[in-house]
Amino acid sequence: MDEDVKKQLGKVANAIRQLSIEAVQKANSGHPGMPMGCAELGAFLYGAFLLQNPKNPKWPNRDRLVLSAGHGSMWLYSCLHLSGFDLPLEQIKQFRQLHSKTPGHPEYGMTPGVEATTGPLGQGVGNAAGMALGLKILAAKFNREEFPLFTNKVICVAGDGCIMEGISSEASSLAGHLKLNNLILVYDANNISLDGPLSESCSENTKERYKAYGWDVYEVDGYDFDRMEAVFGEIRKKQERPVLVVLRTVIGKGSPHKAGTHKVHGSPLGPEEVAATKEALGLPKEDFCVAQSVRTFFENKLEKEAELESDWNEMFRRFSKAYPELAADYEKMASSFLPADLEATLNAIEIKSPMATRSSSQVCLQTLGRVLPQLYGGSADLSCSDLTMMKDLSVIGPGQFGGRNIKYGVREFAMAAMASGLSLTGMIQPFCGTFLTFSDYMRNAIRLAALSPYHTIYQFTHDSIFLGEDGPTHQPIEHLAALRAIPHLHVIRPADSHEVRMAWLAALRYKGPTAIVLSRQNLPDLAATKIPFAEGMGRGAYIVRQEKRKPDFTLFATGSEVSLAMEVAERLEKVDKSVRVVSMPCWEIFEKQSDDYKRSVVEGDLGLRVAVEAATDFGWHRYIGREGVAICMEGFGHSAPAPDLAQEFGFTVDAIVERLINPRR
């Protein structure tokens, strides 16, 4: 590397250090160690390697950087500020303050240039693997020899904690299997964790582990720009597999008394150590001072970066003219295209009754796969059981990215994080599937999808004790309540094939994550659910059986228990009871309705309010009140056929009618 360039990058590195330590100190909160240790990496990536246009952070062929070690967020914010993204110095000074664009951990959509919400360690690795897979999919679909539209790289910066978390193992294993030759994982190997030296908790050979995954592995001195240029240049020129770059660094580099110790990991340096560090590094005494030469360096780059995008736009114009049908698909995918007649298309699908809602969903997926080019799905080794396979479309495999079905293997957590990464390409609508009880493995990734939010869809099957003989290890009890507790996640449990159709419509229209929860057992279609989306699923809850006079009972139910509630109502009316039945497939959608509508469904003199759901009653009392009856699960299930379980736990017409007519004293 040219000596003048190295000298300039050294100045950039020190500017990253200064902004980071001062912002952390001003906030009196944060993690200065990683930004100080990786400052040269930031200078090299943003100053010499990444192909981006900071003036348009959404340029489709940009390189994408994901900071999995999200606690080191000031490293990323400093890099973004210096390189010309819309992140003014004032926002750097507001690090970790209310409503600033520089929160404690990076949040997607809040800060220009932040590609994913990270913080819980390791998830950024999963997100990056998903992005890399998504970009390989887009390249396979759109690239032509004369029009290489997608040639970008995904760079993920991770620390010891990320490498130790199980999700990184899951994601890295699958990335190696698929031969994602656009993924670069930079491992900040400083041998320090938050609690102390890494040697106290970890002694594995990470390099050999990644070689076993099928990755290429390089080792780089984190302060050697020549070595960085050689290694990253080789990767840019010819990459055949995912790459791990083990970057040897010193945490807190530059701090005279704390460098190389865990004391600089999660706490500000302190005023005296900040002053000592600035003196040791020859930094300006003035706070948040950036040398004009650093500013000029990046200002000169901006024009070249804008030319990159301009050249790409011209290539895309020629591509659109040469391949109009492909260009039309591109625009559909980029705009999350939904046909105006999608509701009618879904309603026209022939589904025989009775049918398990997991099977109804699979029938819908076959049509959705044909009409939505952006729809890509996969399963955690359960596609034959959770029925997520789009049968007419092929499977993605190692180096083969032309399919639409993804086999994630038994890697639920990585699957959820990678689905988020697919969504983050901005052109792919991902869905993924497993059994509802295994949503526990995915929960933290689902939570971040809801926080961000990402447009991801989860198909959870085997939704209750009625999956039967597999027993209580596989029978979900608390899972509906746990998912409903996540803000901004739509949890939909359809009662029959029509509600399944409309659940997919709801999930595709909602610009956040949705969990569609489906049965293993067959369910009958109900005449009352066959109503327009706007009157049924689009309301979240609606009356499926109207009372004939003031109700004696109002039954609230979801999923397989709606048809049961309808049978109970019919039996009660034979003994002169007036009964209302409410299907509540999605509480979250219902709570967004007008107050007048909500009152018309769940308020007023409704008699005895009864919830019927084969899951914990947690949350139901908001609708049935303290005096209401919850016919729900009070413990775990058993291994037995579904009819026997219904008898055992009181989910039969006879048992429910007896309980309501002759309540326990």
pLDDT digits (tens, 9 = 90+) for 481-504: 999 999 999 999 999 999 999 999
**How far is Cα 163 from Cα 148, in angstroms, rounded to an integer?**
33
Largest CA distance in the chain: 93
Helix, strand and coil in the chain, % to nearest 5:
45, 15, 40
Reported as a single tens digit per residue, the pLDDT across 164-219 is 999 999 999 999 999 999 999 999 999 999 999 999 999 999 999 999 999 999 99
**How far is Cα 479 from Cα 463, in angstroms, rounded to an integer?**
9
Give 532-538's long-range contacts (Cβ < 8 A, gap of 24+).
Answer: 532/343, 533/343, 533/502, 533/505, 533/506, 536/498, 536/499, 536/502, 536/583, 537/492, 537/494, 537/499, 537/502, 537/503, 537/505, 537/506, 537/585, 537/586, 537/589, 538/502, 538/506, 538/589
Query: Two tokens at 601?
Result: 């469904």
631, β-bridge pairs: 612
Query: Two tokens at 653?
Result: 């017409």
What three-state secondary structure class fits 94? Answer: coil
**Catalytic site residue from 412, 499, 547, 588:** 412
Q: 538-661: what fold?
A: Rossmann fold (3.40.50)
Say yes or no to pLDDT of 665 above 60. no
Say yes or no to pLDDT of 664 above 80. no
Question: Binning pLDDT at 50, 70 and 90, where does residue 341 land?
Answer: very high
Reported as a single tens digit per residue, the pLDDT across 623-645 is 999 999 999 999 999 999 999 99
Say yes or no to pLDDT of 361 above 90. yes
**How far is Cα 323 from Cα 343, in angstroms, rounded to an integer?**
30
H or E segment and range at residue 329: helix 324-334
Say yes or no to pLDDT of 317 above 50. yes
**How far is Cα 663 from Cα 665, in angstroms, rounded to an integer?**
6
- In angstroms, what CA-CA distances link 640 with 36, 460, 469? 59, 21, 5
As a whole-number percent, the residues of the chain with pLDDT over 90 amount to 99
- In angstroms, what CA-CA distances link 125 with 339, 431, 455? 34, 19, 19
Q: Is 634 a catalytic residue?
A: no
Predicted confidence at residue 15, as pLDDT, reads 98
Question: Binning pLDDT at 50, 70 and 90, where does residue 269 land?
Answer: very high
H or E segment and range at residue 343: helix 342-347
Say yes or no to pLDDT of 330 above 60. yes
Query: Two tokens at 633?
Result: 């699960």
Query: Two tokens at 435?
Result: 């059994």
Predicted confidence at residue 624, as pLDDT, reads 97
Question: Binning pLDDT at 50, 70 and 90, where does residue 663 land?
Answer: confident
What three-state secondary structure class fits 216? Answer: strand
Task: Over range 47-63, report the average pLDDT.
Answer: 97
Predicted confidence at residue 1, as pLDDT, reads 86
**How far is Cα 312 from Cα 318, in angstroms, rounded to an integer?**
10
**How far is Cα 267 from Cα 261, in angstroms, rounded to an integer?**
12
Query: Two tokens at 492?
Result: 């939909």
Reported as a single tens digit per residue, the pLDDT across 410-449 is 999 999 999 999 999 999 999 999 999 999 999 999 999 9
Task: Over range 60-89, report the average pLDDT.
Answer: 98
Query: Two tokens at 377?
Result: 């799905």
The backbone region for 84, taken as left when phi is positive above 0, alpha when psi lies in -120 to 50, beta otherwise, is left
What three-state secondary structure class fits 356? Answer: strand
Strand 542-545 versus strand 579-583 pairing type:
antiparallel
Predicted confidence at residue 662, as pLDDT, reads 87
Question: CATH number of the domain at 3-305, out of 2.60.40.10, 3.30.70.100, 3.40.50.970, 3.30.1370.10?
Answer: 3.40.50.970
Cβ(119)–Cβ(76) below 8 Å: no
As a whole-number percent, the residues of the chain with pLDDT over 70 amount to 100
Reported as a single tens digit per residue, the pLDDT across 553-606 is 999 999 999 999 999 999 999 999 999 999 999 999 999 999 999 999 999 999
Nearest to 413, CA basis, from 174, 628, 202:
174
CA dihedral sign, ordered 165, 482, 67, 402 = positive
Residue with tokens 């599937």: 433
Strand 608-616 versus strand 629-633 pairing type:
parallel
**How far is Cα 520 from Cα 435, in angstroms, rounded to an integer?**
10
Task: Over range 402-410, report the average pLDDT.
Answer: 98
What are the domain boundaries of the chain?
3-305, 342-529, 538-661
Q: 342-529: what fold?
A: Rossmann fold (3.40.50)
**How far is Cα 371 from Cα 392, in angstroms, rounded to an integer?**
12
**How far is Cα 415 from Cα 432, in angstroms, rounded to an integer?**
7
pTM higher than the cut 0.95: yes
Say yes or no to pLDDT of 27 above 60. yes
